[in-house]
Amino acid sequence: MADVHEIFIRPNGKIECIYTDDTRFLVDQASSVKIKRGSNVEPTEDGQWIADMSPVGGPLSPSFKLRADALAWETAYLNNYLAAGGHS
């Protein structure tokens, strides 16, 4: 199954999305690009994983045993953030 990527086109023509290798084509086609970090997924001292959403003014995620689960939470949070117009 292919990954699904949400791409938001704003009324002013600005395009926003979570950057992945699959969305690189947008960067290649754009006349002006600004890429910024939206979050950090890091290990905790006890071997769990958390997503720190502070770069977009968001919270810390719950702890996850698997990094993949923290990454999935991070992606869902960022897509909801972007769907709300980039506001927490």
Amino acid at 24: R
Q: What is the pLDDT of residues 54-70, one digit of tens each?
A: 999 999 999 999 999 99
CA 34/CA 47 separation, integer angstroms = 33
pLDDT at position 81 is: 94
Greatest Cα-to-Cα distance within the chain, rounded to the nearest angstrom: 45
pLDDT tens by residue, 5-32: 888 989 998 889 898 888 888 888 888 8
Residue 41 has a CB neighbour count (10 Å cut-off) of 17
CB of 51 closer than 8 Å to CB of 40: yes
- pTM, whole model, 2 decimals? 0.85
